[in-house]
Homo-oligomer: A and B are copies of this chain.
Amino acid sequence: MIKKQKYCPDIPTCSVDYAFRRIGGKYKGRILWYLHEFTVLRYGELSRTIPDITTKMLTQTLRELESDNLINRKVYKQVPPKVEYSLSEIGKELIPFIRYLKEWGDSRIKNETNKNTKNTSHNNL
């Protein structure tokens, strides 16, 4: 007899899982990082900082970050509209971790590049 494969509802299995759900997705990491680097960014500024994001995804992602309490959204009542985004206190707690990840990524990229260089130019003594 064959064991049936798993079918599992939406239990937040563990805290690693919980955390990844909040910062996963294609753009969340970068948005959080830029909000850290620039402290406050308007919608249009974010859009220009992350040139490969569409307005749909930018809005959607910002909404998710907001409802997870990772960022603040400040609306100025004026025309044309002005909306500012910044990290919340909880969002700021994630910065050391994103920094670590970024540095890891940097060193990995550097390492890979070195390897490629070596491969194409060995025997150059």
Contacts and interface: CB of A to CB of B under 8 A. Distances in A.
B54 A6 contact: yes
Per assembly, the copies of the chain total 2
**Main secondary structure on chain A at its contact with chain B?**
helix
Size bracket of the A interface: 35 or more
B52 A6 contact: yes
Nearest to A56: B5
Interface of A: 5-6, 8, 12-20, 23-24, 29-30, 33, 51-55, 90, 93-94, 96-98, 100-106, 108-109
9 contacts: A6-B53, A13-B52, A15-B102, A16-B29, A16-B98, A18-B108, A20-B24, A20-B29, A97-B97
Given A16-B98, A18-B108, A97-B100, 19 more contacts: A6-B51, A6-B54, A8-B51, A14-B30, A14-B102, A14-B105, A15-B102, A15-B103, A15-B104, A15-B105, A15-B108, A15-B109, A16-B33, A17-B29, A18-B109, A19-B104, A24-B24, A96-B100, A97-B97
